[in-house]
Amino acid sequence: MPNQRYLLLGLAFLAAGATAQIPTDVTLDPAFNGESFATPVALRHAGDGSGRKFVVERAGTIHVVDDTGTKLATPFLDRFEHAVDLSGEGGLLGLAFHPDYLSNGRFYVYYTWNNGTGMISRVAEFTVSTDPDVADPGSERVILEVPQPYTNHNGGDLHFGPDGYLWIGLGDGGSGNDPCNRAQTLNPDNLESGCGNHPLTAEQALLGKMLRIDVDTATGAGENNLCGANADGSAAYSIPADNPWVTAVFRDRFGLPPQSLGVTGGECAETWAYGLRNPYRFSFDRDNGDLWIGDVGQSTWEEIDLERASDPGGDNYGWRICEASYERGSTTQECTLTPHHAPVHEYLNADDNCSVTGGFRYRGPVTSLQGRYVFGDFCSGRIWFMQDSGGGSFSVEEFGLADGRIYGFGEDEAGELYVLLGNSIQVFNGTR
């Protein structure tokens, strides 16, 4: 359906006192000559000036689309140390290229596999081969593994932030209503036992969190508070010095007891923020570094969270105590958790909506889309544009329906924005 504008529906979600208009010139059109893909969940670029797009398929394949929009016949990557586990919400879910990819050829993936006991989320590093369009499948190096109590709420997104560190979104470990209370548990000593498929491990305290790690520096053996470390304390990564639970000033900010750096026990040093149910898709604003998170709700609310680039971390997004701005499961009782980082937008699980898919703040060539955060709902296929109205308020307008379930959004090197559907990819067009 080339050049067909999707139906612009009348229903809009507007912030109190805010007004909004849908850009009249914006269309959503088939990308890459209508090329098909098998459940594409992410589209990323390498930042190397090549103009290539890298499309992640959930079953375990990464394809290259060149700068002419042609899908190359040979996959960029389709082999891993373990078979990708597609149970529940598992699969190959995330891809991030190192900021210095042009010189070091390193990139990172998030996928799930099964060790016979249950699902494990793995973040691994790969390098490109001598062919720039093909990765070296034998170069896999494990960065982090987290056992999943259940097969849903895996999160799975990866991005390098403007700070050069790798950010990882992990869900609460699954089932419903976070029965293991992973999202609110910061210290592995406080993990509840008897939940899920795996024996209790310190790594499970990373669930329901946003993680921030340094993949350029490893950690040697010894005592530390890295919950994802090996048995001897070593790890393939280290912790940025200003992560919330390694620097005393941040502990003071939240009234937490003092803790010496590098001492075993205490909160997981990898954690940047907590209280998330399933941050399936998040992104950074390429202009100002703000962090946008689409956190999938339980059965009542879906939410969009915004963390400004100046935020020092340590925020509690509320789950499982709260769901969006309300007590879990309520539409009337406001969340009383203190502190609570409230969402900038929320919408009800109603009218076929069921699962938010976080997107990107648009910084591409379409003039009328500039600065709007674009996101959607997996089930209904609705797409919304959210605009900063000033003074901390936002207006949200419904653009229309995508032609299928929304698995993700993608941003290329030029800032073009794509919607990833069940078997196709579409791109936003408009006046430039």
pLDDT in tens, 323-350: 999 999 999 999 999 999 999 999 999 9
Q: Among 131-135, 186-190, 305-309, where is mean pLDDT lowest?
A: 186-190
Q: Which pLDDT band holds residue 10 (cuts at 50, 70, 90)? A: very low
Q: Which pLDDT band holds residue 419 (cuts at 50, 70, 90)? A: very high
Q: Is 18 among the domain residues?
A: no
Task: Give the residue carrying structure tokens 């190096």.
Answer: 141
| CATH number assigned to the domain comprising residue 323 | 2.120.10.30
Q: Is 42 among the domain residues?
A: yes
| pTM of the complete model | 0.93
Q: What is the mean pLDDT of residues 148-169?
A: 98
Task: Determine the pLDDT at residue 189.
Answer: 86
Q: Which pLDDT band holds residue 297 (cuts at 50, 70, 90)? A: very high
Tokens representing 348? 């009800």
Instruction: Provide DSSP, 81-132.
Output: SSPPP-STT-SEEEEEE-TTHHHH-EEEEEEEEE-SSSEEEEEEEEEE-SST
Instruction: Give the Cβ contact number of residue 352 at 10 Å.
Output: 11
Q: Is 371 among the domain residues?
A: no
Judge contact between 309 and 290, C-beta under 8 A.
yes
> What angle is formed at CA 6 by the lines to CA 361 and CA 32, rounded to 5 degrees?
70
Instruction: Provide DSSP, 149-179.
Output: SSSS-----EEE-TTS-EEEE----SSSS-T
Q: Is 361 among the domain residues?
A: no
Nearest CA-CA partner of 417 in 279, 278, 280, 283:
283
Q: What is the mean pLDDT of residues 357-369?
A: 98
Q: Is 431 among the domain residues?
A: no
Phi and psi based region of residue 63 (left: phi greater than 0; alpha: psi -120 to 50; beta: remaining)? beta
Task: Determine the pLDDT at residue 20.
Answer: 61
> Dihedral, CA atoms, 22, 18, 388, 31, nearest 10 degrees?
-20
Give strand pairing partners of 334.
326
Q: Which pLDDT band holds residue 174 (cuts at 50, 70, 90)? A: very high
Nearest CA-CA partner of 137 in 76, 86, 83, 197:
76
pLDDT in tens, 370-383: 999 999 999 999 99
Q: Which domain holds residue 278?
A: 35-350
Q: Is 2 among the domain residues?
A: no
pLDDT in tens, 224-265: 889 999 988 899 999 999 998 885 444 454 455 554 433 345
On the CB side of 9, CA atoms within 13 Å amount to 17
Q: What is the mean pLDDT of residues 49-66?
A: 98
Cis peptide before 339 (omega within 30 of 0): yes
Q: What is the mean pLDDT of residues 305-323?
A: 97
Task: Determine the pLDDT at residue 223.
Answer: 78
Q: Is 283 among the domain residues?
A: yes
Judge contact between 159 and 282, C-beta under 8 A.
yes
Task: Give the residue carrying structure tokens 């369009």.
Answer: 133
Does residue 95 surpass a pLDDT of 90? yes
Number of structural domains, the chain? 1
Task: Determine the pLDDT at residue 243.
Answer: 92
Nearest CA-CA partner of 375 in 311, 319, 292:
292
Does residue 17 surpass a pLDDT of 50? no
Task: Determine the pLDDT at residue 247.
Answer: 53
Distance from the first to the final alpha carbon of the chain: 22
Q: Is 30 among the domain residues?
A: no
